[in-house]
Amino acid sequence: MEHSKKTKYSSGDRKDSPADGGAVLNGHFDGMVKRPAVASPAAEPGSHRATSSVMESWKEERTRSLEDNEMSLPSLAAAYTTILRGLGEDPQRQGLLKTPWRAATAMQFFTKGYQEKIIDVLNDAIFDEDHDEMVIVKDIDMFSMCEHHLVPIFGRVHIGYLPNKRVLGLSKLARIVEIYSRRLQVQERLTKQIAVAITEALQPTGVGVVVEATHMCMVMRGVQKMNSKTVTSTMLGVFREDPKTRDEFLTLIRS
Partner 1 sequence: MNSHCNGKVGETAVEEFHCNNGFSDLIIDTKKSAVVHRKHETSRKEAEDESRLPALEAAYTSILRNLGEDTDRDGLLRTPLRAAKAIQFLTKGYHETIDDILNNAIFDEDHDEMVIVKDIDVFSLCEHHLVPFFGKVHIGYIPNKKVVGLSKLARIVEIFSRRLQVQERLTKQIAMGICEALQPKGVAVVVEAAHMCMVMRGVQKMNSRTVTSTMLGVYLEDPKTREEFLALAMRA
Residues 6+ apart with CB under 8 A from 90: 84, 96
**Whether 215 is catalytic:** yes
How far apart are CB 127 and partner 1 at their closest, in Å? 28
* Buried/exposed code over 239-251 (b: 16+ C-beta within 10 A; e: otherwise): bbebeebbebbbe
Q: Is the dihedral of CA 15, 113, 175, 34 positive or negative?
A: negative
Other residues' Cβ atoms within 10 Å of the Cβ of residue 172: 20
Residue number with CB closer to partner 1 (19 or 73): 73
Residue number with CB closer to partner 1 (78 or 119): 78
User: How many chain residues bind partner 1 (CB under 8 A)?
Assistant: 56
Distances 137 to 121, 168, 182, 198 between C-alpha atoms, Å = 17, 11, 19, 13
Residue number with CB closer to partner 1 (4 or 251): 4
Options 14-22, 63-71, 172-180, 203-211: segment touching partner 1 (CB under 8 A): 63-71
Q: Which residues in 172-201 contact partner 1 (CB under 8 A)? A: 184, 186
Output DSSP code: residue 120.
H
How far apart are CB 93 and partner 1 at their closest, in Å? 6
* Buried/exposed code over 10-49 (b: 16+ C-beta within 10 A; e: otherwise): ebeebebbbeeeeebebbbbbbebbbbeeeeeeeebeeee
Which of 108, 185, 187, 203 is flagged as catalytic? Answer: 187
Residue at 124: amino acid letter: D
**Whether 48 is catalytic:** no
Q: How far is C-alpha 169 from the geometric centre of its chain's CA atoms?
A: 18
Q: Which residues in 3-62 contact partner 1 (CB under 8 A)? A: 8-11, 23, 25-26
Q: Which residues in 140-159 contact partner 1 (CB under 8 A)? A: 141, 143, 147-152, 154
Residues 6+ apart with CB under 8 A from 227: none
How far apart are CB 161 and partner 1 at their closest, in Å? 25
With binding defined as CB under 8 A, does residue 171 bind partner 1? no
With binding defined as CB under 8 A, does residue 228 bind partner 1? no
Residues 6+ apart with CB under 8 A from 131: 163, 167
Judged by CB under 8 A, the residue of 32, 43, 70, 221 near partner 1 is 221
Which of 28, 61, 108, 146 is flagged as catalytic? Answer: 146
* Binding footprint of partner 1 on the chain (CB under 8 A): 8-11, 23, 25-26, 63-64, 68, 72, 75-76, 78-80, 82-90, 93, 95-96, 98-99, 102-103, 106-111, 114, 141, 143, 147-152, 154, 184, 186, 216-217, 219-221, 226
Residues designated catalytic: 146-149, 187, 215, 217
